[in-house]
Structure formats: C-alpha cells, structure tokens
Structure 1
C-alpha cells in the first residue's frame, strides 16, 4: 500500500487547495491554490469551496461527463465521451478530489473548531462546513449511488470504509442540514474571511441549507413521497427567494482564480452546443439562446451539432459550421453556481403540481422562468432582454397543469445550464420530454459505446482503484446496487 493510497480516506491531509496565508480577501489571492499553505479554518474553507467548484466546472468533469450527459454539449475531436465511454482518469479525479481535498478540508475545519468549544462564531463556522459537506456528499451520491459516508473520516487508519446506502445518506444529509439551521445564529457572522460563496453571511447560509433540503427532497420524491412532502412543506418558506441570495463562487480574471474552463488565454474547441439545445430554444424563441451559444464562424448563425456524432463520420461538417458555447459560459469570471433561485422555484412548481401545500404551481413556474432569464440578463448586462421580453416568452411556454412534468422539466433543464451535473441528475430523475410529449433528447447519433446504456447513463461506475484498494466494500456496494454499470438505476430512479 503506497502512501498515496493510505491518504485516500485518512484525516491526515491538510489543504491541497488551501489558499494563501497572508490575504484576507479572495480578491487579493496571488498564490497557486493547489499548494498547501496553512491549516487555518478560513483558508481550508476557501480551498474546499474552490476545489469542489473547480471540479463541478472543469472541462474534464463538467464538460466531458456532465454537460454531455445533460445533452447540452457534444464532443468535437474527442467524441467517445458523448457516446458514453467514460474516461477513467476524469472519473477517478472527480471521486478522489471531492473526498481527498474538499471533504478533508471541511472535516479538518470541523475537528479544529470542535477542539475550541465556546469560542466566538465556532458553531456558525462548523455549520457552514457541514452545509458545504452536505452539498458535496449529495453530488457523490447522485453520481455513483452508494458511497462511503459514515466511515469516511472515522479514523486516520481506516482506508477501506464501507459504502452506505444512498437513501440512508440522503436522510442523514437532511438531518444534518436541519441541525445546522437550528444551531446557526444569524445575529453573528461565521467566517470573517475565506468564505467566497456568502462572505460569512449566516442568514444566507441558512437559506442555502433550507434550499438544499428542497433539492434532496424533490429528488427522492418518487422513492419516499411522504418524507419528501414533509420536508418540502417544512422548509420552502425559508429557502432562497431571489437571485441575489443564490449560492455561487465568484471567480476572478486573474490566475489562479479564473473560472476553471475559460478561453481568456486560448480558444476552446472541445465542445459544440447540441442540436437538442439549439433547436428547442429556437422553436420557442428563447432569449437566452445567444447567451448559451455563439454563432458558428462560417455562417454567423447559431447551429447545434447532433448529439454523439463521431468525428470519423464523413457527413459531419467542419467545426466552424457549428456553434461553440457562449462567451459568458467560457468567461474567466463566470460564477460557479452551487444553487440558484430559479432551481428553488422549479422545485416548488413541481411540488405544487404533485399536490404539496407550497403555493400555486403556475406562479412558481413563472417565477422560475423569470428568475433564470433575469439572472443571465444581469450577468451579461444584456439590455435587449426586458420584462416584456420575458412576458412574451411565457406566452410561448405557458404552464400547463396536465403536462406539468414536461413543462417544468424542460424549463428547469434550460435554467440549470451550465450546471451539467445537476441537469444530468434531473434529466434521469424526472424523465421529461418536450411540452406536449415529443422527445427532447436523442440517443448518440453514432451509437452508444457502452452496452449498458442506450439513451443516458444513470450513474458513473466506481473508480477502478476502488476495486483493488477497497475491494470488500466495493463488492458489497455493487451487490446492493445491482451492478456497477452506467445503466444501473439509482434508488430514486427505480420508480
């Protein structure tokens, strides 16, 4: 067993992504964030936030995996990923870095602060770390299914933690979030520095905790409808209620703190936007389309590429005939979105459509559409989008109670761009079509390279290293899941 393998689940790692020892603001950072500097909790928090966000928006994880599976983008010269051939290096990095960097940083914060009971703001700081952990654990559970949870940080010597049932993890995460809400005191700050997401604002962290409970609850609504209803009705009034309250990581136009996948220094040609996305947005005159995609170089018009089209197909035109993602999406200062107000409103629209007591479904739906378009309008300073623009758009895509799944699902999918992972999870969970019932998504044009998947993967396979380093726990997890394939449905998809 190498030292690298030993450290995989141990608590000994400090901050592979801790950011500087001398500055108190993210704006002032000039250090390489991959090099350890200090174990001070505020810098551990910055490191945990940034390392997780960097993965969520990396071209390797978000681009080649999630944006493909959400069918927002399709590969260009490298097309195997769009045909469901998972790159093991990218997959392993997602698993290892979330556990070994982000979660370890957060657990280190908690252990440090628990050793100093009674100090000012300690409870708030621990709560912020716990809420951030809950966000990351849900990503892992939604990407893989059963995951190490209760034994992950049990001791520094346990390098073979058991995998916990994902449904049990979900319930534990809800319990954790509810506990943090009760212990936080929003009359005080949490961190005086280091919190790039909310700047130590406890009231906003509490809103995020309520909102994450909504996300967890709606995702398990088919598997545990009574619990989902109970939690949504209990928490919806205190969730994020405006774009200004959204949780996001603001990147800067200065290395090493730029958006992880940006073209400020070189053009990016790895992906084209899909015909799926472009054609639907054109069909409803969606005002976000010029933001989500840019005109093709050879035609000066926005044209999507059919999803999963192999580069070897001679019928495929040159790349300059298809559209790349929009310039804002590749901006060095593009925010990393953790959870926004539009998602909250679409959750509540679905909850209301399912009969939960959270208000009117049509109102929440319209709020979600307006919030999404206004978010992009404000971010890009687009004066062409007005309130009348949005009102006209809503007439084209009205709420239809009898078709709520497709209506809400399609608009939520559009609103989640470019949050590839959340969009992929919702695509498989809600299984929606275009409003009216016509298919929105297609199978890869050049076929799937994974015999277990035809239309879309339901999960990622476990990293191959788990089969040797944590063999017994891995085999138990695979048995419980019913197989380690991308076609194996997650617990909340088996309905």
Structure 2
C-alpha cells in the first residue's frame, strides 16, 4: 500500500494539482479497504483523482455498454472476428461488464472521503463538488443495477459487507445529497472557503458552474421518475414537491455552451490520453493514422438503423451530425452502417467524437440539460422556459459540440417530421428522447440505453441479429466480486441471466 510520505511527495511534485492521468492515479488510495491513510489527506490532494478515475470507466466501458445495448454501435465484421459477440448475443452473466461495478464503486469512495472530510479548513466547495459528482455516478449505478449498497457504502473496515438499499429510496437520498451540496455552496463562509481552483480538473473551481451541474443532476433524477409518476401518486407528489425548489429563483441549469467536461492534462502519450480517445482512437503519436488505430477503433462503427436515420433514408431529413459522428473507411464512398451481429463493415468514428488525444472528456453536456428541461416543461413540472425553444436549443448545442454545420437548415427541415421535429410530433417526448439518442450516441451511450428503457424511444429499435431474447435487456447483473465478497447480501436477490430481461429498474413502467 502506498505510504503517506509517498503520496505527499507526489502531491508536492504536482503542486496539489493533477496535470496528468498518471498523477491522478497516484493520488488515488483504495488498495486497502481497512486503511485510514485517506482520511488524513486533504481534499486538494484527493480531488483530482476522485474526479478523474470514475470518469475513465464512464467514458469507456459504460459508454460502450449503452451504445451496444441499443442500435447505436455495430461491429466491423470484415476485420474483427465476431465483433461484440457477447453484447449482441445477450450473454449477460455476472462477469458481463463487471468492471463497471468493481471500478466505479471503489473509485467513487474518494468522493465519499472528500464529502466526509473532518480536518481543519473550510472545504465546503470541495465537499459540495464531491457530493454532486457522487450523486451523478450513483444514479447510473442504480439505473443499471437497481438496489445497491448506498448508506453503508465506502465504510471500509467499519463494514466490509454493506447491505443493499432500496433503489427508489436511493434516488431520494441522491436528491437530498445534491440539495446538501447546493446549500454548502450558497451558505459557506466565503471569506474562509478554500478555492478549488486547479485542483478541480472539471470546472476549475467555478462554483456557479457546480451549482448548474448540481441542479441539472437533480433535474435528471426527477425526470427519470416522471413515467412512474403517471401511475404512482406518491411519486407524483414527491416530484411536485421537489420541483418547488427547481422552480425557485436560485435554480440554474446548464445552458448552451456549458458542457461539464474533464481534462486533468491529457497528452499524446500512452496511459495519458483522454480515455475515450485512447480506447477508441489511435496509438500515441499516431492520431488519425488508420494503420495505428486501436482494436476498438477498428471494431466500432454505426448501425444501419442509425445511418439511415441520419442520412435521410428513414425520414427524408439529412442530419449534418452524421458526418461528424462517423467518417468513411478506406474504399467507402459514403458513410455506411452494419446490423448488430451482421457481416458488414461499418464506417468508423468521426472527428466529432475523436478530435485529438488530449480532447476534453464529456461528463454532462449542455444538450442533455436542455433536453431534460424541455421534457420537464412539456410535462408541466418546470415552469420556466418554452419547451420547443429548449428542445431546439438542445439540437443547436448538439450540433455545436460535434462541430456539425447546417443546424438552421436541419431545424427547418425536421420541424414538421414526426419523431424528430417539434411541430410534426404528436408525442413531444418521442422527439426529445430520439434527439437525445442521436446527440449522445458515442458520448454517453449509457444514458441513451437507460432512456430507451424508460420511454421506449427511439421506436422500432431493431434487435441484434444474434439476440437470444425477444427484447433488449433492462439491466445488468451483480458481479462475481459481490458473490464472493458480499455473499449473504447479494444472494438474497436470486438473480439469473433472465433477471437482466425480466426485472426492471423501479422507474421502468413500460
């Protein structure tokens, strides 16, 4: 286990600021669950790694899981034998994407340690940021696993066998955690509060930005409950009560140009690149060189369903985002897709997703925030803003982030088209979620899979050719590590492979 002196020496060398992925990993302490060293480290030392390490899983494995569970990503069967065979054949076992649980739970513990730090100094800003980011990631854990340890998580030697909390209860506790964070920001003694500054590799200590992020995370938690609220009076009452806060004068959300990103100092070196770029991009010093593409880069491409959705085949509207999301491989004259499990060769990831080895990593985008606001206004919960304007601003933010041209023409041409345009869609929620699927495919595939499970949109989503079940999965299973390390608590759920398809997350009422 790392010693305190070594950690402090690393902190001194980095000036308490995490400039590279390597230094972020060095200030992470999680090797010994019984250790107490982390409690002695100040939030300045812990925060860069606490932000960076979970984001690595989020941008890679969690992103890939979502993109392959619905019809966003296909595989290049011309160069890779049986690409994504496990995903497309739905071989969901406790080992399927188990690193999401194994890594995210451990890495989020540093956010918990910052939140609970009791040493000298006014670290309210650090604690607030940690609480918001913890809520952001724990929501995803609930969204794909259901019940999880929450109130007893990260107690280390005090409780090595944490019990599982009810998933619906956790959602409400996460809302409370965000509220606590915003209260810390609003009510701290600003004269003594320690500025995060460069120790914050996401928002550089911008506490207004953290409030916007926090309020947007709270909005997402509540929006996820809205389908359930249509048939559950207690949930309906709860949402209405919480929106009294979101409709108040203090509530502010991420807006155009206000993406929440992370960059601890990514560079064009092995293990120091942006994790998405390193996983799905190119070897160090070879960015853009197809001969030095990673296996993932060679493997990944769009589905035929997605390409035809964006090139005008399905709906008559050409979407300029297609040429930024994907680009042709050698020998192709136009962007093409493949079915999931099919024999073809799809095009590859484009510059809107892979721009450089040191590109910023996306945590939460302005477009997602605007689509969330549009849905909340349309359903009558959020009282500020016009739903159509927010919806179209979400599309504008999407085009802008991807570097796509022609947004004005697209908005005009799509407006009267059912399923993608506002005026042409009888079901406005379908248009919102479908646009979110287009926008976040590649950037945050997990969100699109979760939203598909919540709403059923995009409609007519095809199954993989290799699918062993008649529907897409609703969740993944608790990992092998839980069965070996927390046996009594996890075994009570009696999960089987079928559980991934017949046991919904609590908000999934479709």
Q: Which runs of 5+ in 1 are unaligned?
A: 4-11, 310-315
Match of 2:391 among 361, 365, 368: 365
Contact kept, 8 Å, 2:67 with 2:449, in 1: the verdict is: yes
Q: 2-side partners of 1:73 and 1:485: how far apart?
A: 20
Task: Label 1:394 to 1:257 Cα distance change in 2 as closer, same or farther (>3 A).
Answer: farther
Q: What is the correspondence of 1:187-226 to structure 2 with a 5 Å cutoff?
A: 190-223=195-228, 224-226=235-237
Q: 1-side partners of 2:96 and 2:359: how far apart?
A: 22
The reply on whether 1:29 has 2:20 as its aligned counterpart is yes
Q: What is the correspondence of 1:140-219 to structure 2 with a 5 Å cutoff?
A: 140-154=141-155, 156-185=157-186, 190-219=195-224
Contact kept, 8 Å, 1:135 with 1:212, in 2: the verdict is: yes
Q: 2-side partners of 1:240 and 1:257: how far apart?
A: 31
1:275 corresponds to which residue?
A: 304
2:88 corresponds to which residue?
A: 82
Task: Label 1:174 to 1:53 Cα distance change in 2 as closer, same or farther (>3 A).
Answer: same
Contact kept, 8 Å, 1:288 with 1:376, in 2: the verdict is: yes
Contact kept, 8 Å, 2:21 with 2:266, in 1: the verdict is: no
Return 462-471 or 273-282, whichever deviates more: 462-471
2:331 corresponds to which residue?
A: 298
* Alignment coverage as a number of residue pairs: 453
The reply on whether 1:248 has 2:261 as its aligned counterpart is yes
2:402 corresponds to which residue?
A: 376
Task: Label 1:327 to 1:225 Cα distance change in 2 as closer, same or farther (>3 A).
Answer: same
Contact kept, 8 Å, 2:307 with 2:337, in 1: the verdict is: yes
The reply on whether 1:227 has 2:242 as its aligned counterpart is no
Q: 2-side partners of 1:461 and 1:37: how far apart?
A: 27
Match of 2:360 among 318, 335, 356: 335
1:466 corresponds to which residue?
A: 482
Contact kept, 8 Å, 2:145 with 2:476, in 1: the verdict is: yes
Q: 1-side partners of 2:133 and 2:455: how far apart?
A: 25
Contact kept, 8 Å, 2:28 with 2:110, in 1: the verdict is: no
Shift of 1:81: 1.4
Contact kept, 8 Å, 2:71 with 2:305, in 1: the verdict is: yes
Q: TM-score, normalised by structure 2?
A: 0.80
Q: What is the correspondence of 1:34-113 to structure 2 with a 5 Å cutoff?
A: 34-36=25-27, 39-58=41-60, 60-63=61-64, 65-76=65-76, 77=81, 78=83, 79-86=85-92, 91-100=97-106, 102-111=107-116, 113=117
Corresponding residue SS for 2:199: coil
Shift of 1:428: 0.7
2:139 corresponds to which residue?
A: 138
Task: Label 1:182 to 1:35 Cα distance change in 2 as closer, same or farther (>3 A).
Answer: closer
Q: 1-side partners of 2:144 and 2:6: how far apart?
A: 24
Shift of 1:391: 4.4
Task: Label 1:30 to 1:203 Cα distance change in 2 as closer, same or farther (>3 A).
Answer: closer
Q: 2-side partners of 1:93 and 1:325: how far apart?
A: 24
Contact kept, 8 Å, 1:138 with 1:170, in 2: the verdict is: yes
Q: 1-side partners of 2:341 and 2:475: how far apart?
A: 18
Q: Structure 1, residues 157-195: CA drift from partner, whole Å, max 9, x if none?
A: 411110101100000000111121112148566413321
Return 286-295 or 409-418, whichever deviates more: 409-418
Q: 2-side partners of 1:442 and 1:14: how far apart?
A: 55
The reply on whether 1:261 has 2:276 as its aligned counterpart is yes
2:430 corresponds to which residue?
A: 406
Shift of 1:146: 0.4
Corresponding residue SS for 2:71: coil
Shift of 1:494: 2.8
Match of 1:114 among 110, 118, 139: 118
Match of 1:326 among 338, 342, 350: 350
2:467 corresponds to which residue?
A: 447
Contact kept, 8 Å, 2:318 with 2:410, in 1: the verdict is: no
Q: Structure 1, residues 376-403: CA drift from partner, whole Å, max 9, x if none?
A: 22xxxx5x44645554554654314622
Corresponding residue SS for 1:67: helix
Return 87-96 or 360-369, whichever deviates more: 87-96
Shift of 1:87: 7.1
Shift of 1:225: 2.8
Task: Label 1:202 to 1:13 Cα distance change in 2 as closer, same or farther (>3 A).
Answer: same
Contact kept, 8 Å, 2:246 with 2:382, in 1: the verdict is: no
Corresponding residue SS for 2:351: coil
Return 418-427 or 154-163, whichever deviates more: 154-163
Q: 1-side partners of 2:489 and 2:4: how far apart?
A: 22
Q: 2-side partners of 1:15 and 1:234: how far apart?
A: 45
1:9 corresponds to which residue?
A: none
Q: 1-side partners of 2:471 and 2:6: how far apart?
A: 39
